[in-house]
């Protein structure tokens, strides 16, 4: 659908609306260099671009009227003593958004007493949205694919200097029928949930933060899919934003398990074997 769904939890809806408005103003008022300028370090330990700050500040301002806790990329953990926490990436795909590649998203999940119960991802350039609430019927439906050979898989970009991760990336490219790199984890997760692609994965680089995965957990599960970590770590509410995962979002639990296993095995092989995709030539 286009826009913020009316059934969404009020704080989640307010955050998404503020993000859409702030993104629109930021991209109209600033050029690419200004949007991409690094203006600090986020609570997640990564450099913060101006576009991230502009959108996150607008969201936090909108949320001041809502009594919820917030876990967000730049500010980190804001404890308001609520049972409800928004786990939020104000601008997923910041590098796309700053450069003018029209693939970035607001994405957030609602956690109630530690469990993810609802999620909303909104494509900032078009307003198109993906929403799901645990226990509520959803129109989302994955492709249902259960095995990797021939699958359509989105991946984070490869890291050739990391032999294990390079080997893992290449092994999936070898087995998949189609590989994409859209550089926007939350949109790529939403595309799995709606059945446009079969899977999305971080090929063992431990790049994913909770804010990159939380919404995809709810959306993918609503559509019949599953989310795993390549190294078997559980993905749950954690207020330490420096934690990392290598997330796998897939159309079925079987495919999620197979992808995680293929990535894990190829990572271990690549770390210890001197030939392969990561080898300098």
| Residues annotated within a binding site for Mg(2+) | 73, 89, 92, 212
Residue 112 within binding range of a copy of itself, rule CB under 8 A: no
Is residue 32 a contact residue for a copy of itself (CB under 8 A)? yes
Phi-psi region of 183 (alpha: psi -120 to 50; beta: other; left: phi over 0): left
- CA quadruple 277, 255, 240, 74: dihedral, nearest 10: 70
| Cα 122-251-229 angle, rounded to 5 deg | 85
183 in contact with a copy of itself (CB under 8 A): yes
CA distance 161 to 153: 22
Nearer to a copy of itself, 86 or 168 (CB): 168
For the bound state, the minimum distance from the C-beta of residue 45 to a copy of itself, rounded and expressed in Å, comes to 19
By beta-carbon proximity to a copy of itself, the closer residue of 58 and 222 is: 222
Kindly indicate which of the ranges 50-58, 78-86, 174-182, 219-227 contains the residues binding a copy of itself, using the contact rule CB under 8 A: 174-182
Tokens of 11: 């704080």
CB atoms within 10 A of CB 94: 24
Strand order in the sheet with 105-112: 76-78, 69-72, 84-92, 105-112, 115-123, 129-133
Give the containing element (helix H, strand E) for 199: strand 199-201
Residue placing its CB nearer to a copy of itself in the complex, 72 or 142: 142
What part of residues 61-100 is at the interface with a copy of itself (CB under 8 A)? 95, 99-100
Q: Is 39 in the site for a copy of itself (CB under 8 A)?
A: no
Which residue number, 111 or 132, has a Cβ lying nearer to a copy of itself?
132
Helix or strand holding residue 238 (H, E): none
For a copy of itself, which stretch binds (CB under 8 A), given 67-75, 236-244, 251-259, 270-278?
A: 270-278
Alpha carbon distance 260, 258 (integer Å): 6
The pair of three-digit structure tokens given for residue 110, joined into one six-digit string: 């609602």
Please report whether residue 180 would count as binding a copy of itself according to CB under 8 A: yes
Regarding 10 and contact with a copy of itself (CB under 8 A), the answer is no
Least separation, in Å, of the C-beta of 245 and a copy of itself?
A: 21
144 interacts with a copy of itself by CB under 8 A: no
**CA–centroid distance for 69 within its chain:** 20
List residues binding a copy of itself (CB under 8 A).
Answer: 32, 95, 99-102, 125-126, 128, 152, 157-158, 160-161, 167, 170-171, 173-174, 178-183, 191, 194-197, 266, 269, 273, 275-277, 279, 281
């Amino acid at each position: 659908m286009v826009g913020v769904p009316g059934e969404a939890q009020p704080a989640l809806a307010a955050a998404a609306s503020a993000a859409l408005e702030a993104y629109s103003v930021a991209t109209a008022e600033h050029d690419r260099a200004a949007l991409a300028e690094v203006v600090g370090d986020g609570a997640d330990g990564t450099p913060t671009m101006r576009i991230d700050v502009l959108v996150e500040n607008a969201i936090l301002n909108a949320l001041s009227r809502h009594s919820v806790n917030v876990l967000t990329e730049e500010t980190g953990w804001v404890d308001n003593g609520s049972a409800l926490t928004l786990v939020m990436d104000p601008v997923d795909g910041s590098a796309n958004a700053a450069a003018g590649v029209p693939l970035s998203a607001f994405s957030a999940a609602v956690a109630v007493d530690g469990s993810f119960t609802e999620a909303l991802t909104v494509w900032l350039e078009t307003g198109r949205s993906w929403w799901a609430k645990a226990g509520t019927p959803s129109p989302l439906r994955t492709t249902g694919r259960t095995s990797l050979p021939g699958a359509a898989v989105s991946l984070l970009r490869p890291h050739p200097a990391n032999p294990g991760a390079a080997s893992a990336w290449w092994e999936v490219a070898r087995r998949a029928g189609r590989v994409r790199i859209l550089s926007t984890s939350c949109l790529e997760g939403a595309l799995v949930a709606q059945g446009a692609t079969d899977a999305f994965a971080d090929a063992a680089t431990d790049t994913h933060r909770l804010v990159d995965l939380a919404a995809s957990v709810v959306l993918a599960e609503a559509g019949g899919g599953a989310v795993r970590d390549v190294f078997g770590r559980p993905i749950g509410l954690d207020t330490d934003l420096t934690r990392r995962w290598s997330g796998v979002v897939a159309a079925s639990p079987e495919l999620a398990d197979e992808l995680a296993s293929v990535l894990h095995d190829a990572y271990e092989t690549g770390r210890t074997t001197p030939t392969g995709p990561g080898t300098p030539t």
